[in-house]
Amino acid sequence: MPYFVDLHCHTSASFDCLASPESVVRAAASRGLTHLAVTDHDRIEGALRARDAAPDGLTVIVGEEVKTADGDLVALFLERAVAPGRSARDTIAEVREQGGMVGIPHPFDRFRGSMLRDPRLEATGQLVDWVEAHNARVVGSSGNERAAAFARELGLPGVAVSDAHSTLEVGVAYTVVQVDPGTPEGMRAALTNVGVVPGRASYIVRTLTPLSKLVNRARGNRRVVPPAAGSAGPVA
């Protein structure tokens, strides 16, 4: 039985998205996805709501897109949120302590918090479980082509993701696997044999993101600020 997986998706818990967790899981189920990783920026509240609201046939994986000092990472199978602002190595260590898994999102997208190619990316690549070889929001083709090549160089699985910031984008790109990836053990086995189904979000849809940021700012939903030295945790 094949499984259809989108490993990078946002909800209104993110500062740049207005789609409720409930509407996101409905969209995922309606498009035939079997697994959806909800990876809001530096938060897991939306993922927990999505997991609770998931219809039959859809497994929601609690994740987070973490802004590290070295660039963004995607963490999956979390029990608690991972604070932003620390090194990639320390962030990965905390995710591993929770029994989670880690991937590199859009590594060569110069318009976002990407790692790009430098010694930090090379070093981080030795510590993660997958690379986004196709991210539907990367502008142009070269960023995804370089990401796919980077994954091959390191012998890492290259996955396709929507990076959805609206319900219209959920599942526009996804990964097909042959093992149920609903647990860390299953995901590791599934990533040994992946099929990439690329797709792109329309540029018209992407224009919603700046508007989403403005609306969320007015609502008080801003990006999580890294905790100051000695503080107890992140401050929204």
For residue 193, what are its two tokens?
Answer: 């044999």
pLDDT at residue 212 above 70? yes
Q: What is the mean pLDDT of the chain?
A: 92
Predicted local confidence at residue 113, as pLDDT: 61
Residue 211: pLDDT band with limits 50, 70, 90: confident
The helix (H) or strand (E) run that includes residue 61 is: strand 59-68
Rounded CA-CA distance 31/23 in Å is 12
Q: Which residue has the higher pLDDT, 122 or 184?
A: 184
Range among 42-46, 119-123, 222-226 with highest mean pLDDT value: 42-46
Query: Comparing 231 with 142, which gets the higher pLDDT?
Result: 142
- Give pLDDT tens digits for 19-31: 999 999 999 999 9
pLDDT classification of 141: cutoffs 50, 70, 90: confident
Q: What percent of the chain has pLDDT over 70?
A: 93
Q: Which CATH architecture has domain 3-219?
A: Alpha-Beta Barrel (3.20)
Residue carrying structure tokens 């490993």: 7
What CA–CA distance (Å, rounded) separates 36 from 230? 35
Angle between the 45-53 and 21-30 helix axes, to the nearest 10 degrees?
50
Instruction: Answer yes or no: is pLDDT of 123 > 90.
Output: no
Q: At a CB cut-off of 8 Å and minimum separation 6, what does 76 contact?
A: 7, 37, 39, 61, 62, 63, 100, 101, 102, 103, 184, 187
Residue 230 has pLDDT above 50, yes or no: no
Question: How much is the average pLDDT of 36-60?
Answer: 98
Tens of pLDDT, residues 99-122: 999 999 999 987 776 666 667 788
Q: What is the pLDDT of residue 114?
A: 65
Instruction: Give whole-number Cα distances, 112 to 96, 115, 143, 146, 172, in Å.
Output: 25, 9, 12, 15, 20
Q: pTM for this structure?
A: 0.92
User: Of 41 and 234, which is predicted with more confidence?
Assistant: 41
Residue 236 confidence (pLDDT) above 60: no
